[in-house]
């Protein structure tokens, strides 16, 4: 049978045990021991909770996020290209390069409005050839000092329609997709828009974390005039908007792609949203 213990002794045992279990291997009190024990009258201080001490101001939010669809590609003018060239290797047409260069000029005009001398851009780009070429075209509009960095982001790639595509089969598949629903229909050996939604959800978490820690900020700076540019693909950008703004599947079904070289601007509003 368990022996009875004097209440005061029990309190002392619990207190001593708590201190010992919170000591590190050198016998020093760890952060967990810096809490108020019942009846001790000792209140915790801010120094005992260093994770609550703001060591530096939060980085400013990006001024804008630009969503850019790649310029006109060979696949946009000749579907037969998909039967002989891997989708990631399809390049821009001459018009596509013009689209990209014009897109860069429009972005530069927008970010420099108001005469801000410290406006900067940071790029996230799909690793497909047509998006990388679009990025190069956009980059021509900016002095090197304006470009903070570029990150190749595979999750921004195009929806996967399978490997080399059979032109006639794709026409049939797209008709079946129309009847089945554009969001949930999965191409054989490829992805559905719902699959793209899953990977864009992961990318959005990465992007949010980058924004929260100011990864895009120049070293040692707190620049409020940084603009993020996402260079990607039509459906992928629609999915990004759907995920960011929490649109429904029905709302997604009513969306169409941007034009090639098209831009959508998300701008910081009241309260940094």
Q: Residues within the annotated binding site?
A: 69-76, 130, 169
**How many C-beta atoms surround the C-beta of residue 125 within 10 A?**
22
| CA nearest neighbour of 51 among 34, 76, 71 | 34
SS (H, E, C) the chain: CCCCCCHHHHHHHHHHHHHHHCECCCCCECHHHCCCCCCCCCCCCHHHCHHHCCCCCCCCCCCEEEEEECCCEHHHHCHHHHHCCCHHHCCECHHHHHHHHHHHHHHHHHHCCCCCCCCEEEEEECCCHHHHHHHHHHHCCCCHHHEEEEEECHHHCCCCCCCCCCHHHHHHHHHHHHHHCCCCCCCCCCCCHHHHHHHHHHHHHHHHHHHHHCCCCCCCCCCCCEEEEEEECHHHHHHHHHHHHCCCHHHHHCCCCCCCCCEEEEECCHHHC
Q: Is 70 a catalytic residue?
A: yes
- Of 70, 133, 153, 191, the active-site residue reads 70
Annotated binding site for substrate: 69-76, 130, 169
- Of 133, 153, 158, 191, the active-site residue reads 158
Q: Is 171 a catalytic residue?
A: no
The residues annotated as belonging to the active site are 70, 158
């Amino acid at each position: 049978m368990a022996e009875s213990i004097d209440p005061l002794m029990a309190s002392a045992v619990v207190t001593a045990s708590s201190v010992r279990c919170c000591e590190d291997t050198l016998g020093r009190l760890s952060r967990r021991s810096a809490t108020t024990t019942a009846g001790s009258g000792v209140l915790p201080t801010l120094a005992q909770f260093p994770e609550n001490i703001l060591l530096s101001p939060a980085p400013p939010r990006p001024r804008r996020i630009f969503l850019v669809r790649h310029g006109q590609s060979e696949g946009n003018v000749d579907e037969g290209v998909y039967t002989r060239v891997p989708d990631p290797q399809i390049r821009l047409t001459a018009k596509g390069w013009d689209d990209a260069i014009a897109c860069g000029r429009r972005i530069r005009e927008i970010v420099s409005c108001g005469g801000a001398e410290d406006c900067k851009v940071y790029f996230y780009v799909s690793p497909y050839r047509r998006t990388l070429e679009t990025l190069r075209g956009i980059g021509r509009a900016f002095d090197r000092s304006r470009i903070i960095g570029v990150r190749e982001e595979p999750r921004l790639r195009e929806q996967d329609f399978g490997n080399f595509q059979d032109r006639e089969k794709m026409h049939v598949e797209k008709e079946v997709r129309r009847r089945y629903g554009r969001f949930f229909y999965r191409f054989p050996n490829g992805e559905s828009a719902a699959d793209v939604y899953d990977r864009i959800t992961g990318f959005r978490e990465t992007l949010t974390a980058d924004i929260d820690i100011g990864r895009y900020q120049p070293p040692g700076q707190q620049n409020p005039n940084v603009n993020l540019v996402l260079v990607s693909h039509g459906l992928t950008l629609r999915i990004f908007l759907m995920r960011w703004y929490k649109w429904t599947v029905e709302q997604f079904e009513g969306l169409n792609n941007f034009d090639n070289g098209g831009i959508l601007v998300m701008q910081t509003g009241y309260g940094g949203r």
